[in-house]
Amino acid sequence: MLRRAWKPVAALTGIAGTSSYLWYSYSRSRNSETFEFPVRVRGADGKASMSTLTVPLLPKDEVERRIKENAVVETIASQGNISWKHATVSLASNDPIEDASTNGVIPRDTISRGSVGDFLFFAVMDGHSGPYTSRLLSRTLIPAVTLELKTMVIDDPNNKAPTSFLESLKALLWPVPSSAVPPDSDPEKVTAAIERAFVNLDSELINAPLRVLAASIDRTNREKKTLPDLSQHPMALATLRPALSGSCALAALLDTAHKRLYVACTGDSRAVAGVWEDNNDGTGYWRVEALSEDQTGRNPKELERMRSEHPQDEAEDVIRNGRVLGGLEPTRAFGDARYKWPREIQQVLKQSFMPDNDEMRGPSPRLKTPPYVTSRPVVTQTPISLPSPDLETKPKSTFRFVILATDGLWDRISSEDAVALVGGYLSGLKGSIPKVTLPSLVPTVSGAATVNGKAQAPKQVPGEWTFVDDHVGAHLLRNALAGANEMALRQLLSIPAPHSRRYRDDITVTVIYWEERPETTETGPVKAKL
């Protein structure tokens, strides 16, 4: 929780009113509640038109169950006078959900002997065109990063053993003191290791079906120049689906020993930090620090990068309408082999793996010089200020939390509102609060400017925020969907897949934060400084 010197904020109750969330026609019968909403249908002539679908309205208890059923809170590590926690929650719109998440501890002594502290790892994955890539990443991303961190230390010149007797003798007689920074504490080296992990993992993922094909071509195939039929091969779909579907990945690596946070972003998920700025009088405000940029064709940096990597005659095609080749929104992703394999490779795999299956679509007609999508992340590294019992004065700026979320959250809520909602949660706000009132109760200022890669910024619907959840991730999820408007929330969650995708995306949120641990002495507990 926040500093005890903070003045308690009374819970406020706003005035209920009609919200613009209610786009639907609502009716109540004796035995059930239903509502209607518009859907797009395609007639026998192939033309699209709008129709109306009537569905049952979910009862309140079912809505609450869905909001909370995937909510998890864990204490992942403790060091000094603080404990690190993460609160993760997800809500499906697609069936099955295409989001995924993972977290874990990478013990530092498994990377570099004698080191203290750990690397805490958290990631959210936003899948598309199926759940296969995101699910695979949830199992393999942490091992891939761990492997690269270990390799980084092993390959460091300062860790190399003498290769000859003469070198060993020189080291004994004329030792040279090393002033080099250990590789696992060098931000540039850790950043490079994370980048390699992402790129190498995607390379393994993309090349897996090609290895299956190569291993299956026998002498007869070579002599007759034919392809083997792998449609029933046990590894065909297992390797092809994660390559064809895709996933964004957003990872946070927290170095507890050196108080540094690394954020690696591949795609259009977003990481935002909340930093408490103390006014030294019991008041203060939250600084909103975006730690990633949305990587879509609407990001000028990504547009420039994409055009620089392809011939000039493709300048208008690499990004069309904010999308890669006019199709894929994120410009960086794992999988998405349709944008990475040459046309000829795609035709060969289609013929061998899925000759009679429409699951594998043909390449884009604009595909000329692949790859157009990369898994290489943009990695930011930020020193974080934390309280310490060794400090005589408390820091003016204190890192308090970071929000990792797939774009389903950021489609509906701004970074500033998200930080204010978490800040209000940590300060103990309860009840319903008018949206226009929250900035006066939980003031925020924006830090370094970032790039919003969305087609349009989320519109704040008039009404109230609500502070009713014990789980901070569920708190963000509920407010992003409908705020305090219970009827709007019931309606939104009642829309079944696949129609729900027109109104909301899969949402996965992880909030990483710390809490003070009471320290004990012979005379009793000692109060922490923050």
Instruction: Please write the tens of the pLDDT for every residue from 391-423.
Output: 566 778 999 999 999 999 999 999 999 999 999
Instruction: Please write the tens of the pLDDT for every residue from 359-394.
Output: 899 999 999 999 999 999 999 999 999 887 665 667
Q: Report whether pLDDT(1) > 70.
A: no
Tokens 């869905």 locate to: 66
Q: What are the CB-based long-range contacts (under 8 Å, 24+) for 492-496?
A: 492/21, 493/58, 493/63, 493/66, 494/35, 494/55, 494/56, 494/57, 494/58, 495/37, 495/55, 496/55
Closest alpha carbon to 87 in 104, 71, 100: 71
Query: Other CB atoms closer than 10 Å to residue 221's CB: what's the count?
Result: 13
Q: Report whether pLDDT(104) > 90.
A: yes
- DSSP per residue over 210-278, as a string? HHHHHHH--HHHHHHT-----TT-TTHHHHHHHHHSEEEEEEEEEETTTTEEEEEEESS-EEEEEEEEE
Average pLDDT of the chain to the nearest whole number: 87
Task: Return the bridge partners of 119, or none.
Answer: 106, 255
pLDDT range class, residue 517, cuts 50, 70, 90: confident
Where is pLDDT greater, at 78 or 202?
Answer: 202
- Rounded CA-CA distance 84/484 in Å is 29
Instruction: Please write the tens of the pLDDT for every residue from 144-198.
Output: 999 999 999 888 876 655 555 565 555 555 554 554 678 888 999 999 999 999 9
Q: What Å distances lie between residue 479 and 17, 184, 255, 268, CA to CA?
A: 16, 39, 31, 21
> What's the confidence (pLDDT) of residue 458?
81
Are 473 and 511 in contact by the 8 Å Cβ rule? The answer is: yes
Task: Return the bridge partners of 262, or none.
Answer: 253, 381
Q: What Å distances lie between residue 350 and 109, 228, 358, 362, CA to CA?
A: 46, 12, 9, 8
Q: Which domains does the chain have, with CATH numbers?
A: 25-156+183-526 (3.60.40.10)
> What's the confidence (pLDDT) of residue 319?
97
Instruction: Please write the tens of the pLDDT for every residue from 447-506.
Output: 877 777 777 778 778 899 999 999 999 999 999 999 999 999 999 999 999 999 999 999
Q: What are the CB-based long-range contacts (under 8 Å, 24+) for 485-492?
A: 485/19, 485/21, 485/22, 486/60, 486/63, 487/22, 487/26, 488/19, 488/21, 488/22, 489/63, 490/57, 490/58, 490/59, 490/60, 490/63, 491/21, 491/22, 491/24, 491/26, 491/35, 491/37, 491/57, 492/21
Q: Report whether pLDDT(6) > 50.
A: no
pLDDT range class, residue 40, cuts 50, 70, 90: confident
Q: Report whether pLDDT(75) > 80.
A: yes
> What's the confidence (pLDDT) of residue 42?
85
> What's the confidence (pLDDT) of residue 154?
87
Percentage of the residues of the chain whose pLDDT score is greater than 70: 86
Instruction: Please write the tens of the pLDDT for every residue from 290-341.
Output: 999 999 999 999 999 999 999 999 999 999 999 999 999 999 999 999 999 9
> What's the confidence (pLDDT) of residue 32?
74
> What's the confidence (pLDDT) of residue 78?
81
Closest alpha carbon to 21 in 485, 511, 505, 500: 485
Are 507 and 405 in contact by the 8 Å Cβ rule? The answer is: yes
